[in-house]
Amino acid sequence: MKKCFFIAAVLLCFIAVCPFAQESDDKGKDTLINKDDAEKIKESGKQALNDMKGAFKKASDALDKQMKSISSKACVGQWKFQNGDCSTILECLDDGTMQIVQQKGNSKTLWKGAYTSTSTEIQFHVLVKESKVLFSKVTETPDEYWTINYKVSADKEMKLSSPEIPHDGNEYDFSNLTLFTKM
């Protein structure tokens, strides 16, 4: 950043000096700056502007990346929705993995996969589905993408909706806005 300010200061000095500079003409009159020096100043000014553009672009990219990183961390954690004797737990980890568990009595269904997120949306790539009832277990590999819209408030509550999350054991429809609490 100091480099940008230095370059800007040098550029302003050039701009301030240039109006007073007069190019020499062919008759040999006395001038402050000859034609070659004026061209060098012009090229230096162009290079300074290009350097400033590059520095601002890098700073902008770094800030954008940091903002995306911060906003994508809002959903990280373990979140629970209780609907009578049914529970749905959504867990997003820092490493980009995610799972959703729905449980009612001795019946449990687990979806596992990877996710990416913004500050308002989770894209869940479901890679594994495990269903358990008592001593029976079935594993599938669905390879599906679910979109989950969400909003976290005060780091303790998440409101989400998604038509792709299956209804729970009491037939609750997650396409409705649903309040999950942090565990």
Q: How many helices (H) and strands (E) does the chain have?
A: 2, 9
Q: State pLDDT tens for residues 16-33.
A: 555 544 444 445 555 677
CATH architecture of 77-182: Beta Barrel (2.40)
Q: Where are the domains of the chain?
A: 2-72, 77-182
pLDDT tens-digit map of 112-157 = 999 999 999 999 999 999 999 999 999 999 999 999 999 998 779 9
